[in-house]
Structure 1
Amino acid sequence: MARPEPQDDPLGKALMRRALFPRRNQPVRIGRYTVLKLLGEGGMGVVYACFDDQLDRKIAVKILHLARVRDPELSRARLMREAQAMARLSHPNIVTAFEVGQTGEQVYVAMEFIRGLTLDAWCAQPRKWREVVAAFVQAGRGLEAAHRAGLVHRDFKPQNVMIDEDGRVKVLDFGLARGQDSAEEAPPEPPPENSGALLQRALTRTGVMLGTPAYMPPEQRAGLPASAASDQFSFCAALYQCLYGGLPFATDGFGVRIEDVLAGNIIPPPSRSPVPSRVFKALRRGLMAAPADRFASMTELLVVLQRDPAAIYRRVGALLGTAAVAGGVGIYFAGGSTLAPCPDAHAELAGIWDEDRAGVVREAVRATGSPRADEVLDLALPEVERYADEWTRMRNEACVAHALGQQSAQLFDQRTSCLDQRRASLAATVDAIGAAEAEKIDELRAAVGRLPPLDSCADFTALTAAMPPPSDPLLRVRVQKHREALARAQVYEHTGQKDRGLEIVGEVLADAEAVAYEPLQAEAYLRRGSLEMQGGDSAAAEKSFDAALWAALATGHGPVAAQTSSRRGFLHAVRLQRPAQALADLPFITALNRRVQHDVELYSEYLNYAGAIHLSGDDWAEALKLSEQAVALREQHGRLATPQGIGMLFNVGLIHREEGRYEQAHPILLRAIALSDEILGRQQAERTLFEVVLALNYQNLGRPRAALEVLRPVVRDIDGIASKEYRKLALAVAGMIELADEDAAAARRDLEAARRASPEHFNFLYWLELMRATAIEGDAAAMQAAHDAALALVARPLDLHDFYYQDFLLAHGRALASLGRTREAIEALETAKGALVEATAARDIRRRAAIALELGKRRARLGELDLAEQALQAARQDYDQVLSPRNLERADVRLALGELALQRGNFATASHWSAEAASIYGAVAEPDYTPLARARFASARAATGTADSAPPAAREAAEQALSALRARSRADEVRAVESWLAEHR
């Protein structure tokens, strides 16, 4: 088949055939779209109304009018460029492009169908001047958005603007749009198929004039590159025509006289025109011949056009009252116009968050098949809705404040730039929710909770102090787009999509011209380092953080310098295990962060990381102080009920727990879990970690029943936990609690189940617990296997000053004693104790006391009573030095001293220590806690002494002990108490 000549128009002929032969059944199609009718023709293209069968909607399709162009290839490239220009823009005042395609020799663009009038037809009807200005301001917002995206329309005129039935104004026909930084050189080679760079290709030679002469600025007539100022000239010419009924410059029958344009000879407005002189003055400035003499931007021009002093005085109260209105209601300045100079900003979230998008997201999450789908949707989507509403309110508020002249153009730009980045974060978060996989669903609600706070975009002090954008307008646009990309990368960091985040950061850093603006470079390296740290590549993260820090310091980018220093310090202290370096850097880190104390997110993060650095140096008191400050700061500003705040609160509970302050830790842990349930849901994965720590804390308070009650549902539904590591954790901790409660068989069962569930996560501590459980059961071979496995996990050679080795010796001593190898046990324990003789740190003192307590029990078992008492008294002194009064470890050593005194026949001493032990146990433990029962029985024996009958109080204590021991199924001890009671009636 011969290729059609350029003058052929296959689609036009097809439509003609359908008109001549109406009975023909086959519809005419453009790609997958069914043609309904011709809408209009322009110099290069034809626009048809079409129907999209797949999406069941009416659309408009623009196709080249090849019969009217000399160079079809060039025209195809222009149409392709129009589609790319429109696709780069997402704004309520710009027509939306859906698709660009090619059918045969024809290139087409599918775009939204607008029911309404072109602006020239709308203006031809009688209109109040305020209505006309309001309509043009909406069109100006579209041009403003194009300029922010680096595009110039180059052919703005009333015929290229539509007003729909709802009064919304849309700019269309970006066929001549070009990137503002695109030089107009010689004609290019034919573009490659699917080229994505047409906007940066020159399609005209220097000196070739494109556009409509009546609205064309002099620089464009001269064939010079067009700019945003060129669009401003065309906009003012069109507005002048619609306000005053004619063009602003005299014509000679063929076109506007260029000499009048160059001389600035603007025709004065009609003498009785109701249009205020201030509007004419604004238009006159926008129509200046030299681009530099016009307004600095469309934004500045629109502010002047909207400033109506009389209307402001009349309506300021009502206007401020409507500034926060959303949901399709515009913000009105004067009169009864349905055209709003500040249209509701919710339209800017179209496709990001609206009713249709919400429906798609719901279906996608439910399609994962996750049992948590509905819970996540119920928690996450209302929060997304609130965020979107607040974003809309703030965008509307910024527009109104700027329009009233209450904020400078610079501050307005800073606010909108901040809000644009927040919108990018919202878009990426919604995309992450919609693309979630079942195993990732737990991260979605947390990701919503980690959306950057919007109130920072209204913090005028922070905005004023922020890094100013680049002075070059084209570079400013590119930097803003990259910042929005980095906002998306941050969302990928929060949703565990490290590779996607790093890919985005790589694209930003590849733009050498943009990252020559060092503040952007610092932001990109900070994001890359954070992603690398999350992914476990600590060496790479260190290099990225270094690059971010030096770039931020060089440019005075305070927030980035502060956050980078905090994360870099945490990396050194915890991930790279270089606490000395982190502690040495801490004054520097603190100084940088004191400069951003007003930023709650940054400063609370610093306090949290500084606490971690102090922990790495074993300064637990300072770590607790800083962590509590972080929690208080967030709570003061209403940001505790967030994933970050919950994590910080949980850290405070953990520090109290690790320091042995279990009573103080308990309400904090419970509060963290309650907040987590409220914000993140009861079934989210992190809750397993919270429950495990809470269960351990119950055990440390002498409440093993409560501990196992917390864990029992988790262990029962162990296969429902997505994370293998958390499955292991729940099972292993259940085993540890059962072992502490002297149920070795159950402990061994759960510990071995934990090892099978996640062998790669079965760590040193769990092997020690399994070593003890198997020893209690008398399985020497299994005990030795666990012993060897534990040592094999420690990569470095162990010495006596290594706490791993001290813990190992303590566990091994207990295991040997359970096997009846008491002498070997004492030898291991004495070795461990020898390494801690000079200990001064609280944690080392507690470890020394635990070893001494175990030594005292074992020596007492061998009858070495003096040595046993020495060890037990040393343990008591150490515990009393570092633990709170009601800590059960203090009770444990007092019970051991009481039983030793009974063994020696020293009943008064036994009574003293047993009573103290029972008092501590009774204050915090469960009523049937086994050590409490033993303390009561020891008190009864001490009170009775060698007498044949027991006092009533002693018998009552023994009866209580018997009841508890029966409840705990302690058969041997039950028989001993029953025998004693029988002897002492």
Structure 2
Amino acid sequence: MLPQDPRAASSQGSVDARGRDTLDRESVSGAADTVSSQGSVDARRRGTFDRESMSEAAGDARADALPQQLGRYHVLGRLGSGGMGVVYSAYDPDLDRRVAVKLLRPDHRGRDSQIRLLREAQALARLSHPNVVQVYDTGALGEQVFIAMEFVRGVDLHTWLAGQRSVEEILRNFVAAGRGLAAAHDAGLVHRDFKPENVLVGEDGRVCVADFGLARDDGAVAVEGGSGVSRPLDLSLTVTGVLLGTPTYMSPEQHEGRVADARSDQFSFCVALWEALYGARPFAGDNHAALATAVRLGQIRDPPADARAPRRFAAVLRRGLAVDPAQRYPNMHALLAALAPASRRGRVVAGLALVGLVGGAGLAFADWRARVAEACSGGAVEVAAVWSDADHGAVQQVLAGGPDPELAGRVVAGLDTYAAAWAGAHREACLAHRRGEQSSGLLDARMRCLHGRRVALASAARLLSVRSESPPDAAQVVARLPSVAPCSDVGVVMAELPPPEDPAVAAAVAGVEERLAGARTLAYAGEFAAAEATAEAAVGEARALEYPPLLAASLLTLGAIEMDRPGGDAEAAEHLDEATAVGLAARHDAVAAESLARQVFVEVAGLGRTEVARSQVPLARALAQRLPDPAAALARAYHNEGVMHKAAADQPRALEAFTRAVAEADRATDVDPIERANYLASLASVTEDPQRREALLARNEAELTALLGPMHPRVLSRRLFRARWTRDLAAAREEVQAICAALRERTPEDIERHASCNYMLGHIEARLGRTEEAGAALEETRRFAAGLPAEHHNHLLARGAEALAAVLAGEHVKAVAAVDAGVAEFGRYGDLPWIAAELAELELTRGRALLALQRRDEAIAALQRAVAGLSAPHPGQGFTLTQLWLADARALLVEAGVAP
């Protein structure tokens, strides 16, 4: 390990939570999703799917063994079965949600059955409406086709009607189902098998139409034998002499084997609603033939005399049951308007007239848009599961009573803001999909990204709601939550590597990713030992899984944590180097780019291997440029390149690199805000124009203050950094004294900052002639440095403090001994610019002491070394004290009779 410069502006780039998105998998049963099953009726009481053959379904239900998984979906249980399909409850590990998976029965593997199931998937994928079950995916298991769809927890409409339902309740649910049918018709689709068993009533009251296995494009032509077409939705399953649908609810044209259109669905809807309202079907018939005759002849029975529903509904439904499709309502919208209560009917009819004037779009779209918005409100529920009212209270209680009275409120507000942004992004992703603006694949990618952010929020909430012996850095935890914005960037989310195809591996990967998120949170909280241990365990698990993208992300997280641990540079370099190689092999460009950029920093600032870093810089920039949104990665690459140039005393190129870093960071949507503040400080450190430098320092301090609060250690460090440039020593003394006092009060355990602050204060006090105060501050420096590792840079400051205090006390021999010890301990690091500057400062103190001891020649040699070191390029060259020390060295040489 090489000693770090506590006064340097550049940051090691603390752990970046964007190394790898994570998924929240609290439990399969507790997965946050739209609750639901595609018709979750108790199979012991009533089969609910494809009721073409109830006895056959019952027999097959006993015969079929429960599969362990279907594609990537983990099967949880059986929901129901019918003549052609079996429906399972399953868990999707990729998107952390419960789904319903419909599998074509093994004894129905023919082409028509596969077409029918694919038709259902294709039809549903084209619909985005709150009253239609959403399809997610389709696939094959051997020769069997399956589709994965929304899991609706509830019952089918048939089972729901078995309860005591009022007329108003029945109408409300049927109208909702009618809206789903209307949406299908508006999209050019026909259901062709509408019946109560194919309508789901969720526990939340939402009603949606399901089982579109007979759906087809409106107006498609029947094809004899089902041949001669290419797309599943274009294939007609209507062949001469074959009836598809459920006879009880079929229209006359379906009974006759003619093509069904949207008006056929209207007919089926009216049959089902008549039966629900009046307790009897509108057409008599004890067998299929008798029923078909009654339907084709239009022999509608009167409602029972004791029926509770008003007879006016029968009049409305009779039109929808007309034998001639042309005599029915023009569309479902008109039928639903006719069913509306009299008080609303005028407004609805007027609205429908307007719809007709504008091609049927205006009102229908407005109604659809409102319902879509309501259906896409689940993000708030998901985020509340990890950041609830109870969490609010717990965090408030844990953080209350600390040295910063405003911290609790600021942290809670920050988490609230993040949760709101997450819910907003989740809602917008859902709306975009339902509006047809993005594919299911894009929706899944955006949701994976959002799940990673949700995990980060959950990790932060858990950590901050539990009281610990050492309070966590709560403000930084909140400030460094990964930005939600990239989850709305198509290029970014689609470039993310998909999870493993094997569900078991995917689940294990998700668990490791969650632990990595926890490690990053621990690091931001300042709990580095726990963070490193968690990351090390994650690396071990990733190696065992043999999944390269996860291993690369784990190594990056571990290396980034080690960068911030004193003495961890060698390990960090090793792990970052491996992360780069594995990331490149796995085509995980984001991880490879970040790993290499961080390695550049470690090679320069930690290991002093500037030439090694120089060879890595071009590749670091190139990897960053490969990303879909390269700004944040380029900012990091340019910044650490600037650190390299600064260490090599190339101020012009350092200035150029830091300028580019700030420019890229300002453009980025996902830059770590703490790192961006560091970039500003780095740019200020090489800016010669005093006004420009002051503006950069002021902006740097303001941004950190807004993020962390005025008394956060990082803010206090920035104030100390800014004070180093202050020309007025009296003003500087007041500022530094206040900073040191704040550090003692707010972060008594932060001994590194205490040592550095008191060292600066001691020198200022000495220059102002306040010898006693200077001695006290210098003693504090030594006391704090004693608690740091042996090679920590502050031990060199402690030697300097000991030597200066001895000079002030007239103990010149003791001062020379302290300087000798410091040179012996840190002289081997003299090629590092900041160490060289500190060694030069020690030589200045040595020269003072030797002059006092009348050892002129030795003093001159020491002072000349001081002039050489202080005038050479180094990180603190522009600081006020550094310039004063250089002036002192030259003046003492003149006093000794030697030209400086």
Q: Give the TM interval when normalised to the shorter protein.
A: 0.5 to 0.7
CA displacement at 1:417 relative to structure 2:
0.5
Give the letter aligned to residue 697 of structure 2. L
Q: Is the 8 A contact 1:154 1:230 kept in 2?
A: no
Aligned residue for 1:89?
31
CA displacement at 1:455 relative to structure 2:
1.1
Give the letter aligned to residue 665 of structure 1. R
CA displacement at 1:681 relative to structure 2:
0.9
Which of 267, 273, 276 does residue 246 from structure 2 map onto? 267
Tell which deviates more after alignment, 84-93 or 810-819: 84-93
Which of 491, 494, 511 does residue 464 from structure 1 map onto? 494
Structure with higher Rg: it is 1
Alignment pair present for 1:677 and 2:705:
yes
Q: Distance in 1 between matches of 2:845 and 2:35?
A: 72
Q: Is the 8 A contact 1:580 1:617 kept in 2?
A: no
CA displacement at 1:420 relative to structure 2:
0.6
Give the letter aligned to residue 686 of structure 2. I
Alignment pair present for 1:423 and 2:454:
yes
Q: Is the 8 A contact 2:755 2:782 kept in 1?
A: yes
Matches within 5 A, 1:170-249: 218-219=105-106, 229=146, 244-245=195-196
Aligned residue for 2:402?
370
CA displacement at 1:270 relative to structure 2:
2.8
Q: Is the 8 A contact 1:748 1:770 kept in 2?
A: no
Where 1:152 maps in the other structure, the secondary structure is strand
Q: Distance in 2 between matches of 1:836 and 1:84?
A: 57
User: Which whole-Å deviations, capped at 9, do the CAs of 1:853-883 have from their partners, x for residues lacking one?
Assistant: 5565346546x4xx5xx43xxxxxxxxxxxx
Give the letter aligned to residue 752 of structure 1. E
Alignment pair present for 1:332 and 2:357:
no
Alignment pair present for 1:750 and 2:777:
yes
Aligned residue for 2:632?
601
Alignment pair present for 1:783 and 2:815:
yes
Aligned residue for 1:404?
435
CA displacement at 1:630 relative to structure 2:
2.2
CA displacement at 1:346 relative to structure 2:
0.8
Alignment pair present for 1:529 and 2:566:
no
Give the letter aligned to residue 795 of structure 2. N
Tell which deviates more after alignment, 817-826 or 544-553: 817-826
Q: Is the 8 A contact 1:735 1:746 kept in 2?
A: yes
Q: Is the 8 A contact 2:535 2:557 kept in 1?
A: yes
Q: 1:563 to 1:812 in 2, by over 3 A?
A: same
CA displacement at 1:376 relative to structure 2:
1.6
Q: Distance in 2 between matches of 1:520 and 1:799?
A: 38
Where 2:636 maps in the other structure, the secondary structure is helix
Aligned residue for 1:896?
none
User: Which whole-Å deviations, capped at 9, do the CAs of 1:314-346 have from their partners, x for residues lacking one?
Assistant: 4545766x6xxxxxxxx537xxxxxx5434321
Alignment pair present for 1:381 and 2:412:
yes
- State the percentage of identical aligned residues: 22
Q: 1:532 to 1:730 in 2, by over 3 A?
A: closer
Give the letter aligned to residue 701 of structure 2. I
Aligned residue for 1:151?
74
Q: Is the 8 A contact 2:782 2:801 kept in 1?
A: no
Q: Distance in 2 between matches of 1:670 and 1:233?
A: 52
CA displacement at 1:800 relative to structure 2:
14
Give the letter aligned to residue 817 of structure 1. L
Q: Is the 8 A contact 1:456 1:462 kept in 2?
A: yes
CA displacement at 1:570 relative to structure 2:
1.4
Give the letter aligned to residue 707 of structure 1. A
Which of 722, 740, 760 does residue 694 from structure 1 map onto? 722
Alignment pair present for 1:361 and 2:395:
yes
Give the letter aligned to residue 557 of structure 1. H
Aligned residue for 2:485?
455
Number of equivalenced pairs: 627
Where 1:155 maps in the other structure, the secondary structure is strand
CA displacement at 1:733 relative to structure 2:
1.3
Superposed CA RMSD in Å reads: 4.9
CA displacement at 1:754 relative to structure 2:
2.4
Where 1:151 maps in the other structure, the secondary structure is strand
User: Which whole-Å deviations, capped at 9, do the CAs of 1:367-424 have from their partners, x for residues lacking one?
Assistant: xx4222x422222221211111111111111112212322112111111110110110
Q: 1:814 to 1:436 in 2, by over 3 A?
A: farther
Give the letter aligned to residue 347 of structure 1. V
Where 2:627 maps in the other structure, the secondary structure is coil
Q: Distance in 2 between matches of 1:811 and 1:676?
A: 36
Aligned residue for 1:966?
none
Give the letter aligned to residue 456 of structure 1. P
CA displacement at 1:823 relative to structure 2:
5.2
Matches within 5 A, 1:437-586: 437=468, 439-441=470-472, 443-472=473-502, 475-476=505-506, 478-480=508-510, 482-502=512-532, 504-505=534-535, 508-509=538-539, 515-535=545-565, 536-586=567-617
Q: Is the 8 A contact 1:380 1:444 kept in 2?
A: yes
Alignment pair present for 1:346 and 2:380:
yes
Q: Distance in 2 between matches of 1:830 and 1:411?
A: 67
Aligned residue for 1:956?
none
Where 1:156 maps in the other structure, the secondary structure is strand
Q: Is the 8 A contact 2:34 2:150 kept in 1?
A: no
Q: 1:177 to 1:389 in 2, by over 3 A?
A: same
Q: 1:410 to 1:708 in 2, by over 3 A?
A: same
Q: 1:694 to 1:226 in 2, by over 3 A?
A: farther
Q: Which sections of structure 1, spanning at least 5 residues, go unmatched?
A: 1-82, 96-116, 125-145, 159-173, 182-210, 250-262, 281-307, 323-330, 334-339, 872-985
Q: Distance in 2 between matches of 1:279 and 1:755?
A: 86
Q: Is the 8 A contact 1:422 1:487 kept in 2?
A: no
Q: Is the 8 A contact 1:90 1:348 kept in 2?
A: yes
CA displacement at 1:464 relative to structure 2:
3.1
Where 1:673 maps in the other structure, the secondary structure is helix
Q: 1:608 to 1:799 in 2, by over 3 A?
A: closer
Give the letter aligned to residue 35 of structure 2. N
Alignment pair present for 1:633 and 2:664:
yes
Q: Is the 8 A contact 2:542 2:550 kept in 1?
A: no
Q: Distance in 2 between matches of 1:513 and 1:853?
A: 57
Give the letter aligned to residue 497 of structure 2. M
Aligned residue for 1:812?
846
Q: Which has the higher contact order (CA 8 A, sep 6+)?
A: 2
Q: Is the 8 A contact 1:631 1:640 kept in 2?
A: no
Aligned residue for 1:731?
758
Q: 1:479 to 1:670 in 2, by over 3 A?
A: same
Tell which deviates more after alignment, 774-783 or 638-647: 638-647
Q: 1:544 to 1:513 in 2, by over 3 A?
A: closer
Q: Distance in 1 between matches of 2:433 and 2:696?
A: 45
Q: Distance in 2 between matches of 1:594 and 1:233?
A: 39
Matches within 5 A, 1:270-309: 270-271=250-251
Q: Is the 8 A contact 1:508 1:524 kept in 2?
A: yes
Alignment pair present for 1:705 and 2:739:
no
Give the letter aligned to residue 747 of structure 2. I
Q: Distance in 1 between matches of 2:154 and 2:108?
A: 15
Q: Distance in 2 between matches of 1:811 and 1:457?
A: 56
Give the letter aligned to residue 417 of structure 1. R
CA displacement at 1:813 relative to structure 2:
0.9
Q: Distance in 1 between matches of 2:363 and 2:452?
A: 35
Q: Distance in 2 between matches of 1:799 and 1:642?
A: 32
Q: Distance in 1 between matches of 2:634 and 2:154?
A: 51
Matches within 5 A, 1:652-663: 652-656=683-687
Q: Is the 8 A contact 1:155 1:234 kept in 2?
A: no
Q: 1:446 to 1:231 in 2, by over 3 A?
A: closer
Where 1:635 maps in the other structure, the secondary structure is helix
Aligned residue for 1:132?
none
Aligned residue for 2:796?
764
Q: Distance in 2 between matches of 1:531 and 1:492?
A: 10
